[in-house]
Amino acid sequence: MIGILLPVLQGAGSVALAFVAFALAFTWPALLAPLVRLRTEAARLAGFAGLGLVLVLAASLIYATPGVLLRDPVGLLLAFPVAALWLIGAAGLLVRGVVLGGAARGISIAFAVVAGCGALAGIVSAVLVQHGVPDTVTPTGAFLLAVGALAAVVFWARAEEPDPRPAIG
């Protein structure tokens, strides 16, 4: 009995942390108003840097939790509900990103991509672990998401710059 209960409790902790991360993914724009009202530029910079760090930690939790949950021996029994939960969250974030604009749109869609990739990596990781193959999917996926995030930030920053080429016509 204890052998089955311990993985379930460990999974419950991961799910609780992931729910907090999903809640932050859905409600983070409410945190912007207090940061904008800070008096000094240094305080605003520190506040936005802290918010960015919290968003990165939340995205890490959302990406890694399915892999942690599904690596259990009981993991394959949980595969469908965990994947469904993550895909529902990803769909909700995608819809939210379509409706909103600006930074809220970008971050919502980014969280949707992270949630979908986390669910996919978790399922592939569980299958690999069941067959005795070392799991390289989760770290590789995390690396690709990080590179994609850096490319997206660079692309987004460049979108604000005017085009240096003269207009033809």
Which pLDDT score is estimated for 6? 54
Q: Residue 74: what pLDDT?
A: 62
- Nearest by Cα to 78 from 90, 87, 66, 91: 66
Say how far apart CA 132 and CA 147 lie, in whole Å: 29
The Cα 124–Cα 68 span in angstroms is 12
Best CA proximity match to 106, nearest among 161, 65, 149: 149
Per-residue pLDDT of the chain (169 residues; tens, 9 = 90+): 455 555 555 556 666 777 777 777 777 777 778 888 888 888 888 888 888 888 888 888 888 877 777 776 665 666 777 778 888 888 888 888 888 887 778 788 888 888 888 888 888 887 887 777 777 777 877 887 888 777 777 776 665 556 666 666 5
For residue 85, the model assigns a pLDDT of: 80
Helix (H) or strand (E) holding 152, with range, is: helix 137-159
Per-residue confidence (pLDDT) for residue 7, from 0 to 100? 57
The predicted structure's pLDDT at residue 57? 83
Structure tokens at 169: 């016509």
CA dist 99 and 31 (Å) reads 19
- Predicted pLDDT of residue 83: 78
Is this prediction's pTM over 0.75?
no
